Structure 1
Amino acid sequence: MIQSPSFISKPLKQQYNNPLHDDCLIAIYEYKASNTFYFEAIQIWFSERYKVITYAKLDDNPPYNHNVCGPCDGLYYLWSEHVLGNDRGLWNPALNEYKALPLIDTEKLNTPYNLALYNWDSCGFGFDPVTQDYKVVLIKFFTFDGDLVLSLPPCVLVYSLRTNSWKYVMDLPKFYNLFNNGSDVIVNTSLYWLASEDQNTDNAEVIIVFDLATNKCRDIQLPEHRTKITIQRNDGCDYECLMVYHGDIAYVTVDDVNNCFDVWALKAGCWAKKLTMGLVVEVQEPLGQWRDGLLVFQGQSGTTLILCNLDTQQTWVLTGLPLDSDRRCGFVCPYQESLVSLHDVTTWIYKQDKCNLLYTS
């Protein structure tokens, strides 16, 4: 019964309609001394105020894959730019399952002569409702001898879980410099990334949008009157990000000088400034989104996590976390549980197709 598509789909739909179910975060910690990463699930108690009540190490997570996209139906895409070989995979922490993705065959790509693909990716992960398939999207850049990133249009690769294979889809229409700030956000069937049109620019200028259903790409200009970032990214921090706010894509920019941040939301093709929120504690950078309207920041010292409720404009320092100068949190994302098994997900998708077809008939 628990392997049937109807049973698996039912709890997925229930958890999306019940925001109180998402009372956990996944936090990625880094040990500075050893440059190792690990994952923990943090349970947050919010009956009266937001407070960490428990945290537990997630068993058997891949030790080198410290970058995360997701969740999508309780699944996460993990990757690392520091490990040679097969360092990409899909992960279901609830079932303690990990599926290594196949290597990318660069010989089949439309790679320019005497150039190679850059080791760093801009990534996204989501579900295509048209083909009923989970997809990983990579935007990769070209280099010469692995040293210089060239200002050539990046190429887009898509991994299909249904076929367990990578496919070259397209080149972007021009060069974009995409930032590694956890800005990949999915709304409906589209993935969003912050980017600039100049390789030497450290501040975002546009948003790149990729539609999973059509494999088409476009860009969106950021708000014209937004607060410009004055702090360079070479300090290792990012002072802007994307998030979902009331179901719309939103752009967040942090004013480190005045200790506040602005939130702009895009609706019907127009940007509108939703709020400017001051902070009673100093923040360093946004780490990720917990739920719609709840944003998590890293504290200025790097040893605290700060939760901001955009609707009530309240701020809480999450206490009870085992953070110190050697053990810091670098990224957070919502924790979702599901019964979607990575070992037989292709069979499950096929069965789900048949169920949907019978239901439609």
Structure 2
Amino acid sequence: MKCKSESQLLSEDVVIDVLTRLSVKSLLRFRCVCKHWYSLIINSRFITNHLHQSSNSARLLVYHYTTTAEKNIIFSLFLDETLASFLLLHYDFDDVQVPNELGMLGSFNGILGLWHWDRIALWNLATREFRKVLMPKPHLPSHFYVYHCYYGLGLDPATTDYKVVLIRNYWDREKNDPYFPRVVTVYNLFTDSWRLFEDSSPSSFVYESSSNTYMNGLYYWLTNDDTNQFYAILSFDMRNEVFRHVPGLPNLSQMECGVVVMYIDSIALIYFDRQKAEKHFDIWVMEEYGCWTKQLTIGPLLDVEWPLGFWKNGELFLKTGTEDLVLYDQNTREIKNLQHHECDIFMYKESLVSVSGENKGREGEDRSNMARLKDSLPFHPRGTQKISNG
């Protein structure tokens, strides 16, 4: 196929419209057709249009992995209500020995975030790009250790840069108490750099999000209010890099359980009593920033333990007491066992988004520079520091 012949038959707009409807696999091949198509397909505007094309519908990534002698990771992908065959993919964490050492921190715009103790990795499942990133290590006494990490993966709408916010809770063995302030660092993909700043959020505990709870430049976690008795919502602004408590959530007691999820195109809180055999799940939706409405109640449901998130038409994913993944349909009130055990779920869309940033092709140099700089953070962070990988 020659680009000149194609351009004489079709207008540029038509060519672009057709290309944006194709799969990532096809587009990676079509980059080799000619220089013109190559420049079209790697263009940031084309990548954005392809990502949001209606034909590129959301999929469910069922995350469960096992290790093998060949150091492979096994994912299963849930496509259009049909379980696809397992994907067997090589990964680049060379010292993972047992399950639960490798976790997923989220999926956003086709990028999967993985973590393993002292590093994270950004992985585009469709293009097979994989990038390891060492996490900065603050200077803390040896009797301090990390007892929990929380992540947020999202986009800075001002710069279109992808960011990872990392919140680490440290425990002081000598005092047998948590250490405050928490250590907060932010990673920028474009510059391949970390920044450290003192945690100014007033809450004392943060709960993991059940799915990637990013929306309009903000990432959301469930947390507690100043009294440590009721739930609150903590947001992180990817543009300004500041934490805020989201107002307006009713006084929902921490004596019961809460999970922050995405509900259609809104941030939502699922509130329930885990101790009851028959469970009712109250769904609170944030229709506008700080404006919460109780949308619906699902239940009573038997033999379920924990909500994981919503699917396209409002179906609710749940875990049973035996760690089975099930799907509850609100319309038919039926529960379908999806034949997966001990797994997590994430919404996933194919994309051409590169995880290389601006330093593509310099992995050896990046690792060398990061090794020299990873221990350079101060004991008491003040203001903002930038650690550049070259």
TM over 0.5: yes
Q: 1:251 aligns with which of 269, 290, 296?
A: 269
- Tell me what 1:103 maps to: 135
Q: What pairs with 1:332-343 in structure 2 (closer than 5 Å)? A: 332-343=345-356
- Output the CA distance in 2 between the equivalents of 1:140 and 1:43: 32
Q: What pairs with 1:124-135 in structure 2 (closer than 5 Å)? A: 124-135=152-163
**Shift of residue 221 of structure 1?**
5.6
Q: 1:43 aligns with which of 65, 72, 78?
A: 78
**Structure 1 residues 87 and 205: CA distance shift in structure 2, 3 A:** same
**Structure 1 residues 117 and 222: CA distance shift in structure 2, 3 A:** farther
Matched, 1:5 2:44: yes
**Shift of residue 169 of structure 1?**
3.1
Letter in structure 2 aligned against 1:130:
A
Matched, 1:88 2:82: no
- Output the CA distance in 2 between the equivalents of 1:53 and 1:195: 34
**Shift of residue 289 of structure 1?**
4.2
- Tell me what 1:123 maps to: 151
Matched, 1:330 2:326: no
Q: Would you say how many aligned residue pairs link Structure 1 and Structure 2?
A: 310
Q: 1:179 aligns with which of 196, 207, 213?
A: 207
- Output the CA distance in 2 between the equivalents of 1:340 and 1:138: 21
Letter in structure 2 aligned against 1:9:
T
- Tell me what 2:287 maps to: 267
**Structure-2-length-normalised TM-score:** 0.68
**Structure 2 unmatched ranges of 5 or more:** 1-37, 361-390
Letter in structure 1 aligned against 2:104:
V
- Which is further off, 89-98 or 284-293? 284-293
**Structure 1 residues 281 and 150: CA distance shift in structure 2, 3 A:** closer
Structure index of larger Rg:
2
**Structure 1 residues 98 and 147: CA distance shift in structure 2, 3 A:** farther
Provide the aligned C-alpha RMSD in A: 3.4
- Output the CA distance in 2 between the equivalents of 1:68 and 1:265: 25
Q: Alignment identity in percent?
A: 25
Q: What pairs with 1:134-283 in structure 2 (closer than 5 Å)? A: 134-145=162-173, 148-150=176-178, 152-180=180-208, 182=210, 185-196=213-224, 205-220=231-246, 223-224=249-250, 226=252, 229-230=255-256, 239-256=257-274, 257=276, 258-268=278-288, 269-283=290-304
Q: Deviations over 1:292-320 (max 9, x none)?
A: 734311123223x222356x47443144x
Q: 1:306 aligns with which of 306, 313, 326?
A: 326
- Output the CA distance in 2 between the equivalents of 1:308 and 1:124: 27
**Shift of residue 204 of structure 1?**
6.2
**What SS is found at the alignment partner of 1:8?**
helix
**Structure 1 residues 74 and 30: CA distance shift in structure 2, 3 A:** closer
Contact 2:73 2:90 (8 Å CA) reproduced? no
